[in-house]
Amino acid sequence: MRLPLGPPSATAIIVGGWLAGLAAGSELRAAGLQVSIHERSERVLDDRGAGIVMQPDTQQILIERCGLREHETGVWLKYRQYLAKNGKPDVYQTMPQLMTSWGLLYRAMRAAFPKEHYFEGDTLFSFESAKSRVRGRFAKSGEIDSDLLVAADGSRSLIRSVLFPEVKPVTPATWHGAESLPRAKPMRSCSRPLRTTLPSSRCTVATSFVTLYRGANGETEPGARRLNWVWYWNVREAALPAVMTGRDGKIRDFSVPPGQMREELIEEQNGIAEELFCPQFLALWRATREPFAQPILDLAVPRMRQDRIAIVGDAAFIPRPHTAASTSKLQPTPARSAKR
């Protein structure tokens, strides 16, 4: 995607201060632009509580832009197991894979970006784009003119909704996920089958998988690492609002956070888990005190550039997470690439 950025003193406004915004900010700063990030949340976004497979381009940002050393970016898993109902491996494959966490990525990128140019609680109200400049109107910063506006404002992107009103997130299913971590129940406290199965592997059974990754503050020691598991479970569209309603009665669009899953829903999944899971996964499910839920979303914009506006991250694409590679799996066709 080539953009007319202008002279070395060009400016860029990034709307959204999570990973896509921070990554865009670090790259644009490295290219010589003056960059400011405007995040609508009033507080530090911190750890979203889930694991992620490290991709080469992400690791490159952590090393080159954030100053991390290679061994600080994740935990290597040596092999993958596919477990039968009795807990024994049906398939055992050597498959090295580097695992990390959203929290580690966020903290590293946030620490590397200048605090004085990161504005919290600065919601974008409106924007205007012309051939030479783009203007944004913000809650705290007021009107700002720049050479480039980057929409990194997530799946509910205001900028995308204006540029591409026809593009809407589609929810085909939902998944239940959680961790077993020090603040809940550490790995050393879990059952012996679970401890002996997971130390250096990624395991899959039925419609679920479980992985090890770095702890909340980058810990790699056994017992301090996190276990991240995901349970893909189809929910009828008509039943989805009930699943996304928390204990406080509030219906969430994109995530029911830990502590908000209603007890009757957890009890329902308990029965299903006892019927489907092998001993290791059942032990992990029972060891998790606060499961959470997120819907799977499908979303894609027809192009990532409109005049002096770029659309990145979840504002542009939300692929299903089954491949554990996010947008690294999106390979544009020649026709689409030409549009960008």
C-alpha to C-alpha distances, 27 to 87, 94, 124, 161, nearest whole angstrom: 45, 35, 22, 25
172: Cα within 13 Å, side-chain hemisphere: 7
Give which of 181, 244, 233, 193 is closest to 209, Cα–Cα: 233
27, 91: one domain: no
317, 246: one domain: no
Please provide the DSSP assignment of 142-184 as one string. EEEEESEEEE---TT-HHHHHH-TT---EEEEEEEEEEE-TTT
Strand ranges inside 148-276, DSSP E: 148-151, 170-180, 201-205, 208-213, 226-233
Q: What is the rounded distance in angstroms from the CA atom of residue 29 to the CA atom of residue 185?
A: 41
Terminus-to-terminus CA distance in the chain, angstroms?
5
Tell me, what's the pLDDT at 271? 94
Does residue 111 lie within any of the structural domains? Answer: no
Give which of 45, 19, 18, 56 is closest to 325, Cα–Cα: 56
Does residue 253 lie within any of the structural domains? Answer: yes
181, 81: one domain: yes
> What is the pLDDT tens value at each position of the chain, 340 positions in all?
445 455 557 999 999 999 999 999 999 999 999 999 999 998 776 555 567 788 888 999 999 999 999 989 988 888 888 888 888 888 888 888 888 888 889 999 999 999 999 999 999 999 999 888 999 999 999 999 999 999 999 988 999 999 999 998 877 655 555 444 433 344 444 556 555 566 556 666 655 665 655 555 555 565 556 677 778 888 887 888 999 999 999 998 778 888 899 999 999 999 998 998 888 888 888 888 888 888 887 889 999 999 999 999 999 998 776 655 555 544 444 333 333 3
282, 203: one domain: yes
227, 287: one domain: yes
175, 59: one domain: yes
210, 260: one domain: yes
Which domain, by its residues, includes 93? 51-103+170-296
Say if residues 285 and 318 touch (Cβ distance below 8 Å). no
Does residue 1 lie within any of the structural domains? Answer: no
292, 221: one domain: yes
Give which of 50, 18, 75 is closest to 176, Cα–Cα: 50
Does residue 221 lie within any of the structural domains? Answer: yes
Tell me, what's the pLDDT at 182? 38
Token couple for 201: 């592997």
Does residue 279 lie within any of the structural domains? Answer: yes
85, 29: one domain: no
Tell me, what's the pLDDT at 144? 97
Q: Are strands 309-311 and 118-120 parallel, antiparallel or unpaired?
A: unpaired
* Placement of tokens 């029972």 in the chain: 286
309, 162: one domain: yes
Max Cα distance, the chain (Å): 64
Q: What is the rounded distance in angstroms from the CA atom of residue 194 to the CA atom of residue 61?
A: 34
Query: What is the CB neighbour count within 10 angstroms for residue 192?
Result: 10
144, 126: one domain: yes
200, 269: one domain: yes
Look at residue 18 and give its three-state secondary structure.
coil
What is the count of structural domains for the chain? 2
Q: Which residues of 273-286 are buried (b: 16+ CB within 10 A; e: fewer)?
A: beebbbbbbbbbbb
Tell me, what's the pLDDT at 84? 84
Q: What is the rounded distance in angstroms from the CA atom of residue 181 to the CA atom of residue 191?
A: 14
Does residue 5 lie within any of the structural domains? Answer: no
Q: What is the rounded distance in angstroms from the CA atom of residue 41 to the CA atom of residue 39?
A: 6
Give which of 11, 14, 12, 10 is closest to 38, Cα–Cα: 14
Specify the CATH number for the domain of residue 138.
Answer: 3.50.50.60
Does residue 317 lie within any of the structural domains? Answer: yes
Tell me, what's the pLDDT at 223? 56
C-alpha to C-alpha distances, 69 to 22, 24, 57, 65, 74, nearest whole angstrom: 19, 21, 15, 11, 10
Does residue 3 lie within any of the structural domains? Answer: no
Work out the burial of residue 181: count CB atoms within 10 Å of its CB; fewer than 13 is exposed, 13-18 middle, 19 or more buried: buried
Residues 6 or more apart in contact with residue 92 via CB below 8 angstroms:
79, 80, 81, 82
Specify the CATH number for the domain of residue 187.
Answer: 3.30.9.60
Q: What is the rounded distance in angstroms from the CA atom of residue 226 to the CA atom of residue 242?
A: 29
